[in-house]
């Protein structure tokens, strides 16, 4: 597989983001996706002081920041209605996302659509599309794209994509979510979703979410890599296994050894293509 950069989600690394840039460099990664944080902590990397720290770390270790994840949408509904208490929080986060991405040189804002933000009705779809439109318009001024990560089928995402109707709106693919949460075949769902994908994706494995080393679970990681290679995928592949969390941490006393195993597996899977 050519023109691939490998990286990780900072929340998946040992320490859940603490010293993530240094850790990424130490195991031979190219890039990191950064979490924007939680409302309770006032979204740490939206502040100039914290951004300066991240940029200094980037200069020191040579790690690219390829995405910012609006991870708090797992806890607060992106499709919150105006009369709810979450509405102001949602729009505060949306308005902070683009300036933060711009300050850190990030080209993709990743928006999770799980838990509180999962679309379960037509009204959810409508309000989510409106939020995505705002985010895409604000991001587009700076050449930044927006990608939604979710459990939608190809036809469902097509509907959302048409409703958003922005050229910088994409799907953020994950190599395990569809299988572990819906029982779908990852390669079969790729057939319909691939035209909408951005140039980044998450990889993880296991019987539970992020709970097994790559290639050891039912998601058919290697088949997914083969499929992407045959369709000339280029871009970023980011590790999202939880190396210091249960159940994966039971496999080794040292979570960094688990991380290094996954890095080696991913590099081998890419280089063998």
Pull the structure tokens for residue 115.
């838990």
Residues 6+ positions from 89 with CB-CB distance below 8 Å: 39, 76, 80
Domains observed in the chain: 4-267 (3.20.20.150)
H or E stretch at 237: strand 235-239
Please tell me whether residue 262 adopts helix, strand or coil conformation: helix
Give me the pLDDT at residue 273, please.
55
Q: How many CB atoms lie within 10 A of CB 19?
A: 14
Using alpha carbons, list the distances in angstroms from residue 264 to 27, 109, 180, 239: 9, 27, 23, 11
Q: What is the pLDDT of residues 70-118, one digit of tens each?
A: 999 999 999 999 999 999 999 999 999 999 999 999 999 999 999 999 9
Q: What is the pLDDT of residues 138-152, one digit of tens each?
A: 999 999 999 999 999
Helices (H) and strands (E) in the chain, counts: 9, 8
Pull the structure tokens for residue 9.
């989600």
Q: What is the pLDDT of residues 224-271, one digit of tens each?
A: 999 999 999 999 999 999 999 999 999 999 999 999 999 999 999 998
The reported pTM is 0.96
Q: Do 229 and 187 meet the contact criterion of CB atoms below 8 Å apart?
A: no
Q: What is the pLDDT of residues 1-29, one digit of tens each?
A: 889 999 999 999 999 888 999 999 999 99
Output the CA torsion sign for 112, 117, 121, 122.
negative
């Amino acid at each position: 597989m050519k023109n691939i950069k490998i990286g990780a989600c900072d929340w998946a690394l040992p320490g859940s983001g603490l010293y993530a840039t240094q850790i990424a460099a130490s195991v031979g990664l190219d890039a990191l996706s950064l979490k924007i944080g939680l409302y309770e902590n006032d979204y740490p990397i939206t502040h100039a002081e914290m951004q300066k720290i991240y940029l200094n770390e980037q200069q020191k270790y040579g790690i690219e920041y390829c995405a910012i994840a609006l991870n708090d949408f797992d806890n607060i509904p992106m499709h919150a209605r105006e009369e709810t208490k979450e509405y102001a929080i949602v729009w505060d986060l949306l308005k902070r996302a683009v300036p933060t991405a711009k300050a850190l040189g990030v080209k993709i804002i990743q928006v999770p659509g799980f838990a509180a933000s999962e679309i379960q009705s037509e009204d959810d779809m409508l309000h989510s599309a409106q939020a995505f439109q705002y985010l895409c318009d604000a991001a587009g001024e700076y050449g930044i794209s927006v990608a939604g990560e979710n459990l939608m089928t190809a036809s469902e995402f097509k509907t959302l994509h048409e409703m958003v109707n922005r050229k910088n709106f994409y799907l953020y693919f994950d190599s395990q979510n569809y299988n572990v949460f819906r029982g779908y075949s990852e390669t079969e769902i790729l057939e319909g979703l691939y035209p909408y994908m951005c140039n980044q994706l998450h990889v993880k494995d296991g019987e539970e979410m992020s709970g097994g080393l790559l290639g050891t679970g039912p998601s058919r990681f290697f088949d997914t890599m083969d499929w992407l290679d045959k369709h000339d995928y280029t871009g970023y592949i980011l590790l999202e296994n939880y190396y210091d969390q249960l159940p994966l941490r039971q496999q080794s006393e040292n979570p960094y050894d688990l991380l290094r195993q996954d890095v080696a597996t991913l590099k081998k899977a890419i280089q063998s293509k």
